[in-house]
Homo-oligomer: A and B are copies of this chain.
Amino acid sequence: MAVAEIKIELKKGVADPEGQNTKKALELLGFEGLRSVRSMKCFQVDIGLEGDEALKACQDMCRRLLANPVIQSYSVELK
């Protein structure tokens, strides 16, 4: 049975204050040369389905609950 990894990130152009503040904090700690830090939310779902069926169910979960389609995009990877 598949374990799906669902990644939900902010669309390009949407402000990511958590990422920006993490970048600032890392720079204050002495990490240099960082170009960007983006924060994301991930879910690991043990879904009890296989292949295409699992993929479709996960995309459905994102559309209906996990992601806000106005500001977030999602990707699903089966493992």
Q: Which of B1, B33, B57 contacts A48 (CB 8 A)?
A: B33
Judge whether A34 and B45 touch: CB under 8 Å: yes
How many chain copies? 2
SS of A interface (majority):
mixed
If the complex has contacts A57-B31, A61-B31, are A37 and B44 also in contact, measured as CB distance less than 8 A? yes
Interface size on A, residues (CB 8 A): 33
Nearest-CB distance from A52 to chain B (Å)?
16
CB of A42 within 8 A of chain B? yes
CB of A78 within 8 A of chain B? no
Q: Which of B34, B35, B47, B64 contacts A34 (CB 8 A)?
A: B47
Seed contacts A33-B48, A35-B46, A39-B42; 4 additional CB < 8 Å A-B pairs: A31-B60, A32-B48, A36-B46, A40-B41
